Amino acid sequence: MDGTLSPNDISHIVTADREHVWHHLTQHKSYESADPQVILEGKGMRVWDQHGKEHLDGVSGAVWTVNVGYGRESIARAVYDQLLKLNYFAGAKGSVPGALFAEKLLDKMPGMSRVYYCNSGSEANEKAFKMVRQIAHKRYGGKKHKILYRDRDYHGTTIGCLSAGGQDERNAQYGPLTPGFVRVPHCLEYRAHEQGAPSEGYGEWAANQIEEVILREGPDTVGALCLEPVTAGGGVIVPPEGYWPRVQEICRKYDILLHIDEVVCGVGRTGAWFGYQNYGVEPDMVTMAKGVASGYAAIACLVTTESVFDLFKTDASDPMDYFRDISTFGGCTAGPAAAIENMRIIEEEGLLENTVAMGDYLMGKLEELKGKHKVIGDVRGKGLFQGAELVKDRETRVPMDEKLVQAVTGDCMKQGVIIGATNRSVPGYNNTLCFSPALIATKSDLDQMVEAVDAALGRVFG
Ligand code: PLP
């Protein structure tokens, strides 16, 4: 820490935080017995709290965001320079970083053609849902408007996104939700036995469950299928072999738009620029947010193919024939300025390659841990996005109690290592430890992380 804050300053900040800030995802009763943790600084893979304690950040800023690590001077400079030139202009006007980032981004997304700017993953997904509905009205008399989403996937916090949310604990108490969203089953092979799936060909079987839902609802009512490429907060669910090709086939067969939510996987997390690129998928719409600028500025994008874009400019004489949507802060220039530099860093530092290599290393380490601790039932993930599912018994695969899973993350925190866990999302299945360090992680960072988990598992489960 650079020591610019005095002990009095820090004490004032912690008090102001405890008394005035309403924290995300927090039961504030917990602050009656302990102060909130305030993170004062970050550099590389590490952050420092108000006590000067150093933490290795194994989750990239709690929610898979700081892909290039903390303290990147070149991103700060790019944003600073841009803000002095032009901080903002919205509506139909373009901007220099907006144009240049769109060009750079599309270069990494063959087959995609247009970038729509906004601010959060939820907002990008809402915009995709609006596009689907508008297309239904323009082409199908409003009928082909339903949006399919998958059990255990998450697409954001707004009422519309919760309506497309497969995590019932996130949705609980926020109803009534929006009509027109229909759930399809998850594709977690480790839990295939609970779905009554056959022991062979699970990937294709799981995709066929989607087709069954489409046939039940009526293909002429279904406009889009929205999926995470690798499910994040629902348990780090890697798609099984054979799943994606069949999903693509089904979407084409029934003229259903494929919307991939890359809010977590996007921009390097899985070792490819985008998660779907690992599986040869050709989406119609892609949404992204967190890693786009690694949290140095708020930016989210909805990217579409040219054919989706074309559907919104078919009739120049019709005053309603365009996407009638705006995002006030979609006109901020800091986001694309930071995103350009973020992407340059990933390319020049070879961070995709590092993610693949360190992802393999981490998987090997987690497998070793599984050999040692019976409580680990399954290890899975892609690149630097991995999970370890904890169970009471390997035979029956009964999920471990959420409180004990939280005890593991709490023990790691005491050791100065921040890891994540699925948390109050899927009832009964909040039992997966999550690892998503920055894409700059080294072997020694990963060793430190896994050693902390090893010690924590030993202490919590004996
Ligand atoms: N989609 C996925 C897969 C997410 O994990 C999240 C947030 O965690 C979102 C969408 C929502 O993004 P935001 O919190 O930026 O609205």
Check if the beta carbon of residue 375 is closer than 8 Å to that of residue 459: no
Average pLDDT over residues 238-253: 98
The larger pLDDT score, comparing residue 253 to residue 92, is at 253
Q: Which residue has the tokens 């270069």?
A: 107
Average pLDDT over residues 76-95: 95
Q: In this predicted structure, what is the pLDDT of residue 455?
A: 98
Check if the beta carbon of residue 327 is closer than 8 Å to that of residue 118: yes
Cα–Cα distance, 84 to 358 (Å, whole number)? 38
Token code pair at residue 26: 């927090």
Amino acid identity, position 264: V
* Per-position b or e across 135-148, b if 16+ CB within 10 A of its CB: bbebeeeeebbbbb
Cα–Cα distance, 228 to 244 (Å, whole number)? 11
Q: How far is the CA of 232 from the centre of ligand 1 (A)?
A: 9
Question: Around 462, how many Cα atoms within 13 Å sit in the side-chain half-sphere?
Answer: 0
Average pLDDT over residues 73-84: 98
Where is 360: in which H helix or E strand?
helix 351-372
Q: In this predicted structure, what is the pLDDT of residue 33?
A: 87
Looking at the CA of residue 300, tell me the nearest atom of ligand 1.
Answer: 15
H/E/C letters for each residue in 236-298? CECCCCCHHHHHHHHHHHCCCEEEEECCCCCCCCCCCCCHHHHHCCCCCEEEECHHHCCCCCC
Q: How far is the CA of 217 from the centre of ligand 1 (A)?
A: 27
Q: In this predicted structure, what is the pLDDT of residue 92?
A: 87
pLDDT at 3 over 80: no
Cα–Cα distance, 159 to 165 (Å, whole number)? 9
Q: Is 266 in the pocket of ligand 1 (CB under 6 A)?
A: no
**Banded model confidence at residue 216, pLDDT cuts 50, 70, 90:** very high
**Banded model confidence at residue 412, pLDDT cuts 50, 70, 90:** very high
Q: In this predicted structure, what is the pLDDT of residue 462?
A: 85
Q: What phi-psi label fits residue 170: left (phi over 0), alpha (psi between -120 and 50 degrees) or beta?
A: alpha
Q: What is the pLDDT of residues 25-54, one digit of tens each?
A: 999 998 888 899 999 999 999 999 999 999
Q: In this predicted structure, what is the pLDDT of residue 379?
A: 98
Domain boundaries 37-66+350-461, corresponding CATH code:
3.90.1150.10
**Banded model confidence at residue 320, pLDDT cuts 50, 70, 90:** confident
Q: How far is the CA of 38 from the centre of ligand 1 (A)?
A: 23
Token code pair at residue 344: 């340059």
Q: In this predicted structure, what is the pLDDT of residue 16?
A: 93
Share of the chain above pLDDT 90, in %: 94
Q: How far is the CA of 262 from the centre of ligand 1 (A)?
A: 9
Q: How far is the CA of 156 from the centre of ligand 1 (A)?
A: 5
Fold for the domain defined by 74-348: Aspartate Aminotransferase; domain 2 (3.40.640)
Q: What is the pLDDT of residues 152-169, one digit of tens each?
A: 999 999 999 999 999 999
Check if the beta carbon of residue 362 is closer than 8 Å to that of residue 446: yes
Q: What is the pLDDT of residues 276-309, one digit of tens each?
A: 999 999 999 999 999 999 999 999 999 999 999 9
Average pLDDT over residues 333-348: 98
Parallel, antiparallel or unpaired: strands 300-304 and 114-118: antiparallel
Q: How far is the CA of 209 from the centre of ligand 1 (A)?
A: 25
**Banded model confidence at residue 445, pLDDT cuts 50, 70, 90:** very high
Nearest to 424 by CA among 456, 401, 457: 401
Parallel, antiparallel or unpaired: strands 146-150 and 181-184: parallel
Where is 96: in which H helix or E strand?
helix 96-107
Cα–Cα distance, 27 to 216 (Å, whole number)? 41
Mean pLDDT score across all residues of the chain: 96
> Does 74-348 match 37-66+350-461 at the fold level?
no
Question: What residue segments make up the domains of the chain, in order of their start?
Answer: 37-66+350-461, 74-348
**Banded model confidence at residue 314, pLDDT cuts 50, 70, 90:** confident
Cα–Cα distance, 209 to 227 (Å, whole number)? 14
Parallel, antiparallel or unpaired: strands 222-227 and 46-49: unpaired
Residue of 155, 259, 436 to test ligand 1 pocket, by largest number of atoms within 8 Å of CB:
155
Q: In this predicted structure, what is the pLDDT of residue 32?
A: 87
Q: Is 232 in the pocket of ligand 1 (CB under 6 A)?
A: yes
Q: Is 228 in the pocket of ligand 1 (CB under 6 A)?
A: yes
